[in-house]
Structure 1
Amino acid sequence: MIPLIGMPQGAEWLIILAIVVLVFGAAKLPDLARGTGQALRIFKAETKGLRDEEDDKKKPTAPTSELNAADDEIAEGEIVDERRENNA
């Protein structure tokens, strides 16, 4: 079975390009291309942001009871004092 409607090939692209030039005019084509490029950049940035948010939600968070090396240097009394100051 041969599909009746397919992707344009060869000379069909030239005809489509000629119609676009006639409709929009040669002077407006750079502006049209620039606007399309900006829209695509914005779209890519937004989809990347959504993917990053999704990845952040999937990452397991470390338990708060674990301390790293920098936290070991602070005395426990200092931490309690800082919490009291922050709550006051």
Structure 2
Amino acid sequence: MSSTTVVIGSRVGLHARPASVFTHAVAQCGITVMLTDAAGSTINAGSILGVLAMGIGYGDVITLSSDDEAAESVLASLAELLERELDRP
């Protein structure tokens, strides 16, 4: 299993637009990615409803993980995405 920890960079956290951008990127990557918050709750990162329900805010630390062989580069790319401000059109 590969995993990476990331600090959320969007000032509004993973709400509305940032969650949509992120879950779309997960869907496009072609592998199953799981998201775990600081409390230890884990969801499928491709589920926008799951991501929104977690209430992840700016500066929160989350972990992305996957069992796929190609996961390292995908997780690194998704982590870079989450570190940026995603709430701009």
Q: Please give the TM-score of this superposition, normalised by the length of structure 1.
A: 0.20
Question: Going by fraction, where is helix more abundant, 1 or 2?
Answer: 1
Question: Going by fraction, where is strand more abundant, 1 or 2?
Answer: 2
Which of structures 1 and 2 has the bigger CA Rg? Answer: 1
Q: Please give the TM-score of this superposition, normalised by the length of structure 2.
A: 0.19
Q: Relative CO higher for 1 or 2, CA cutoff 8 Å, sep ≥ 6?
A: 2
